[in-house]
Chains A and B, each alone.
Chain A
């Protein structure tokens, strides 16, 4: 059986720079002295720490969790003492710090008691629950909680399961290494996904620059009972590993704008996630390690390491023989690839679930960004390469003008930030940076709008509540008066319509008028009375002036 391949729009043929990190195969990283585990390593809601400073934790122990459905718990990667829970620099484009649990590793690597339970009789929902508890997220880089994605896919019904082993970005070879070393686990992970989603067929897309990986997965499938599962070698073109692009290549289907793969009965999952699923289900092992590529021209020995999550990047750099030039500011660190990655503020940040690659470039080999760019010449080169079939130059104008409405009309949120447009732009406009900024602006505006809608509702509700209360009070008073009148008809019928404020104002006015008039008892006085008054006044004055 062989399937017909399709082409997606645009894309780039890039130099792949992958050989360097593939030579030495998969290496096991050593334990660092300290593990730094950010509480949030996924897309979704935040976790809360479940341990305190001073606690001893064991490998695989749950240390942070959330009750939200869109979240993934964090586990200790090795045994040791929690020495700090606080803000530490994390891998994030902002370069900011975030809440982390720091473990001083004791080197014993003691594990929690595994209570491996048989999984043969578990239902789909129970399997998904186990995957959730293992803290598994999409390891292709999106870090969306896998269990939430599976639950949604299950609800919508899946026809084709697509396994992403494309790994199209230059320099990165962690999935290639994973497929060569853990093919059997990839394949059993696929079997579990099939068990949960019950797709009609499964396609595994791998770029044809990874023949060894293709071979080992094929062998593993032959040895397994899987049926309707096929490895497809796809042409090497960036970004074939983008979800929508891979779908187009393998099925010819276009995921409509602002829709997701599930909406047309497809489900994509990365090969690394499959391995994590196998380990979670078969060995009750939480996601505490991953394969990371260390690459670039600034590192002594590029390669792939199986790394404990929370390991500082600096520890990994040491394992790779250190920097080529060991001076401050002589390297540029990027997490991810050169097209879609982001710069790291320092090598003190830890490896997290999203870290597929650490790219170390010698500063001197990076062309200096000129600090300006030329204006768009409307050459439309960007339109030709955009794999999402957008109009990048239009998006650029709208982002610069901060015209959110027009940006969305041009489908800004379908931009996958692949960087193809910026790579070919003759004016060297940092297009993706404009799109990212505009996306952030729009997200913030949406949040503000959501909040103001709530405030309006609450404000209007309060107004209505106050009005209702006023009416009820009046009604109660009226009833009371009526009851009194029935008992004692002499009580006069007070006008209900009189506005109490108006009445009060009138009373005040009336009082002022009477006060303005002369007090009556001081008119027509006899001389004696006048004298008495004056004497009394004098006494009072004297009493007041007497020193206390």
Chain B
């Protein structure tokens, strides 16, 4: 038990260092406007915008090649933020690219059915799946962005998307009801 805890903490520490190092070592000197757009995108990396990831979409927006309403995970909030940044009109989300989920989804692997083929690991853009060949795989829920890219490669169809578990701490105070409509204008 102690050994397991130690190993895992050691690994966590090590990965932290590697990630930190990678962030500095591989820092891409980028176009600041692309960076700013990219910072507003949800980083789900799902490709529903038809670009292979959030950054390529950010580049396309910056070059004026794509409208700002193609990112379903970001939803209306991202469109408003992008419109504010780029000083353009707020658009309705383009439904053709997919549906926005109010409560984000995460992948969950049915561990009894998993055959350990590693195909989902290769598909996951953020390395959120843990496992090795012929062994049961599992999703690190905290790191999963809900991109659904691991679903098609699974040969036994054992990955499901479920809404993130909401706790009482995630509850949001609502705005006063109907304020917009019933405020008396003077």
Which residue of B18, B22, B171, B182 is within 8 Å of A371 (Cβ)?
A: B182
Give, as a whole number of angstroms, the nearest-CB distance from B13 to chain A: 16
The residue in chain B whose Cβ has the minimal distance to the Cβ of A403 is B84
Chain A residue at smallest Cβ distance from B128: A458
- Evaluate contact between A437 and B26: CB separation under 8 angstroms: no
In whole angstroms, what is the CA distance A434 to B43 when docked? 30
- CB within 8 Å of B: which A437-469 residues: 437, 439-441, 444-445, 448, 451-462, 464
Smallest beta-carbon distance A184→chain B, Å: 38
How far, in Å, is B152 (CB) from chain A's closest CB? 19
Give every chain B residue within 8 A of A459 (Cβ-Cβ): 43, 45, 53-54, 125-126
Q: Which residues of A contact B125 (CB under 8 A)?
A: 459, 462
B19 CB contact (under 8 Å) in A375, A440, A461? A461
**Residues B43 and A436 in contact, CB atoms below 8 Å apart:** no
Q: Are A96 and B179 in contact (CB under 8 A)?
A: no
What residues on A are CB-neighbors of B23 within 8 Å? 457, 460-461
A457 to B17, CA, bound (A): 13
Shortest CB–CB separation between residue A290 and chain B, in angstroms?
Answer: 21
How long is the Cα–Cα vector from A450 to B186 in the complex, in angstroms? 42
- In B41-59, the 8 Å CB interface with A consists of 41-45, 53-54
Query: Which of A98, A400, A436, A459 has its CB near the most chain B CB atoms (within 10 A)?
Result: A459
Check if A437 sits within 8 Å of B173, measured CB to CB.
yes
CB within 8 A of A464: which of B26, B44, B45, B168? B26
Known: A94-B168, A464-B26. A452 touches B173 (CB 8 A): no
Name the contact of B179 in the complex, choosing from A400, A436, A448 (C-beta under 8 A). A400
By the criterion CB–CB under 8 Å, are A453 and B43 in contact?
yes
B145 on the interface (CB 8 Å rule)? Answer: yes
Are the CB atoms of B19 and A456 closer together than 8 Å? no
- A377 to B185: give the CA distance in the assembly, Å: 10
B32 interface hit (Cβ, 8 Å):
no
Q: Is the CB of A371 within 8 A of B43?
A: no
- Interface residues in A7-36 by Cβ distance below 8 A to B read none
Q: Are B182 and A454 in contact (CB under 8 A)?
A: no
B127, CB-defined interface residue at 8 Å: yes
Chain B interface secondary structure, helix, strand, loop or mixed?
A: loop
- Kindly list chain A residues whose C-beta atoms are within 8 Å of the C-beta of B178: 371-372
CB distance from A437 to the nearest CB of B (A): 4
- Encode contact with B along A364-385: 1 for CB under 8 Å, 0 otherwise: 0000000111110100000000
B residues in contact with A102, CB < 8 Å:
none
A430 on the interface (CB 8 Å rule)?
yes
Write out, one digit per residue, whether chain B residues 1-35 have a CB within 8 A of any chain A CB (1) or not (0).
Answer: 00000000000000000110011001010000000
The 0/1 profile, CB within 8 Å of A marked 1, for residues 147-186 of chain B is 0000000000000000000011011111111110011111
Do B183 and A373 touch (CB < 8 A)? yes
Residue of A nearest to B26 (CB): A464
Chain A residue nearest to B122 (CB atoms) is A466
The reply to whether B173 and A461 contact each other, CB–CB distance below 8 Å, is no
A28-59 vs B, CB cutoff 8 Å, 1 = contact: the mask equals 00000000000000000010000000000000
When C-beta atoms are compared, the residue in chain B nearest to A449 turns out to be B39
Residue in chain A with minimal CB distance to B45 = A459
Cβ–Cβ < 8 Å partners of B167 in chain A: 46, 98
Contact with B along A339-362 (1 / 0, CB 8 A): 000000000000000000000000
A93 part of interface (Cβ distance < 8 Å)? yes
Contact indicator B173/A93 (Cβ below 8 Å): yes
Known: A373-B179, A456-B38, A461-B22. 12 other contacts (CB 8 A): A93-B173, A96-B171, A371-B177, A372-B179, A399-B175, A434-B175, A437-B174, A444-B172, A455-B42, A456-B54, A458-B19, A464-B22
User: Can you show 26 pairs from A to B with CB atoms below 8 A apart?
Assistant: A92-B168, A94-B171, A97-B168, A371-B177, A373-B176, A373-B183, A375-B184, A375-B185, A433-B173, A434-B175, A434-B179, A437-B173, A444-B172, A452-B43, A454-B143, A455-B43, A455-B143, A456-B43, A457-B19, A458-B127, A459-B45, A459-B54, A461-B22, A461-B23, A462-B125, A462-B127
Q: List 5 tightest A-B contacts by C-beta distance, closest first.
A: A372-B182, A440-B172, A455-B43, A436-B173, A452-B43
